């Protein structure tokens, strides 16, 4: 009985694997096509200064613009695929090129904002990443002081000494560094003292039920206080309701991001939002 059940589960597993592999190959070739056609585009989600209610910056988020009315794959799907296949380089270059043009256009219009850019594990692990990103931004005429790099804990833990060197190099050039999705990874609090972060982004997991769940409230409150004690700016991700905004503001959270304020939008739409 045991052998048979194991055999069955093996067969099932291998079928799943094949399906996954086929799906990956399919997605990979579609992603390559989309990149060639310029269909991976930066969208911008406002970051709101909770004291003034004004847009103080935006997070740059990759969107796959589909032409045929089909459902666009989400970055939660295509970013990992691009990492596994090496397409992340082309994707990142396309994102920075387009975002750079938008940023320069806003700069020329006198818009003063911060631009937060996500960098994933494989990008950051590559020793050329920092110099390439720095060079690309400089070539486009973007002031590094307006750019914040968002990193997650897992990105940093791979090689702590090397990560620290890279962060120091980026900071020496003027870039700011944010720790993204804080509270969901495995990193110890010790890393908050090890790396010179500017900003800490409280993961949506602690915001979603902050009203209903006393424990989420306590964790959000503690993270905000801890971050402030360490002189970090705190951003809360995933604010969807006015109640959540109010509670986070009362806890002293500096910046809010979420559907309550705006979803990620196309650049022309952001220009309208800023004007309004
Ligand atoms: P992230 O960096 O944590 O980005 C925040 C995610 O939360 C975004 O998902 C955003 O659309 C979503 N979000 C914002 N406000 C709300 C809200 O009120 N409710 C809910 N339910 N969600 C909200 P998105 O755009 O799907 O991106 C997913 C992840 O993919 C990002 O998480 C980031 O890790 C990665 N990613 C996106 N664009 C890029 C990129 O250009 N490069 C790299 N390396 N990674 C990217
Ligand atoms: Mg992010
Ligand atoms: Mg995040
Ligand atoms: Mg996230």
Q: SS3 string of 173-226?
A: CCCEEEEEEECCCCCCCHHHHHCCCCEEEECHHHCCCCCCCHHHHHHHHHHHHH
Nearest to 107 by CA among 137, 150, 63, 151: 137
Report whether pLDDT(49) > 90.
Answer: yes
Residues lining ion ligand 2 (Cβ < 5 A) are 118, 150, 180
181 lines ligand 1 (CB under 6 A): yes
pLDDT band at 158 (very low <50, low <70, confident <90, very high): confident
Residue nearest to atom 11 of ligand 1 (CA): 264
CA of 1 to the centre of ligand 2 (A): 49
Report whether pLDDT(144) > 60.
Answer: yes
Sequence-distant (≥ 6) Cβ neighbours of residue 70 within 8 angstroms: none
> Dihedrals φ, ψ of 149, to 5°?
-95, 125
pLDDT at res. 1? 43
Kindly state the average pLDDT of the residues 32-36: 96
Measured between alpha carbons, how far is residue 153 from residues 31, 73, 134, 215, 230 in Å? 27, 25, 22, 22, 17
pLDDT band at 3 (very low <50, low <70, confident <90, very high): very low
Kindly state the average pLDDT of the residues 219-231: 96
Kindly state the average pLDDT of the residues 124-141: 89
Looking at per-residue pLDDT, the higher value among 41 and 153 belongs to: 41
Report whether pLDDT(261) > 90.
Answer: yes
SS3 label, residue 263: coil
How far is the first Cα of the chain from the last one, in angstroms, to the nearest whole number? 69
Tell me the average pLDDT of the chain. 91
pTM summary value: 0.93
Digit-coded pLDDT (tens) for 9-33: 555 556 666 777 787 788 999 999 9
ipTM: 0.98
CA of 264 to the centre of ligand 4 (A): 14
pLDDT at res. 16? 67
Measured between alpha carbons, how far is residue 118 from residues 16, 23, 29, 31, 121 in Å? 31, 25, 23, 19, 10
Tell me which of 75, 98, 238, 243 to substitute to probe ligand 1's pocket, judged by most ligand atoms within 8 Å of the beta carbon. 75
Which numbered ligand comes closest to the C-alpha of 62?
1
Report whether pLDDT(109) > 70.
Answer: yes
Residue nearest to atom 3 of ligand 1 (CA): 181
SS3 label, residue 83: helix
Report whether pLDDT(243) > 50.
Answer: yes
Closest ligand 1 atom to the C-alpha of 120?
Answer: 44
Kindly state the average pLDDT of the residues 31-45: 96
Sequence-distant (≥ 6) Cβ neighbours of residue 264 within 8 angstroms: 43, 44, 45, 59, 61, 63
Nearest to 178 by CA among 145, 150, 210, 206: 150
Nearest to 244 by CA among 223, 259, 265: 259
135 and 167 Cβ atoms separated by less than 8 Å: no
pLDDT at res. 8? 52
Closest ligand 1 atom to the C-alpha of 62?
Answer: 38
């Amino acid at each position: 009985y045991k052998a048979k059940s194991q055999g069955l589960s093996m067969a099932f597993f291998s079928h799943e694997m094949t399906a996954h592999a086929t799906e990956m190959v399919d997605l990979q070739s579609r992603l390559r096509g989309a990149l060639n056609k310029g269909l991976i585009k930066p969208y911008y989600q406002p970051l709101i200064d909770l004291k003034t209610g004004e847009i103080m910056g935006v997070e740059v988020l990759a969107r796959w613009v589909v032409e045929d009315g089909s459902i666009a794959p989400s970055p939660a799907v295509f970013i990992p695929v691009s990492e596994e296949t090496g397409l992340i380089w082309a994707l990142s270059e396309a994102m920075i090129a387009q975002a750079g043009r938008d940023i320069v256009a806003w700069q020329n219009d006198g818009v003063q904002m911060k631009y937060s850019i996500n960098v994933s594990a494989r990008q950051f692990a590559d020793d050329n990443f920092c110099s390439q990103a720095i060079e690309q931004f400089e070539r486009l005429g973007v002031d590094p002081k307006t750019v914040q790099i968002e990193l997650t804990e897992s990105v940093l833990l791979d090689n702590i000494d090397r990560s620290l060197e890279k962060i120091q190099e980026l900071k020496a050039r003027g870039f700011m560094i944010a720790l993204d999705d804080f509270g969901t990874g495995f990193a110890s609090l010790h890393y908050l003292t090890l790396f010179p972060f500017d900003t800490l982004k409280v993961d949506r997991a602690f915001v979603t039920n902050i009203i209903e769940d006393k424990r989420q409230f306590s964790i959000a409150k503690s993270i905000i206080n801890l971050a402030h004690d360490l002189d970090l700016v705190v951003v809360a991700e995933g604010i969807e309701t006015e109640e959540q905004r109010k509670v986070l503001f009362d806890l002293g959270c500096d910046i809010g991001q979420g559907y309550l304020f705006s979803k990620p939008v196309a650049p022309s739409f952001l220009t309208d939002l800023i004007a309004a």
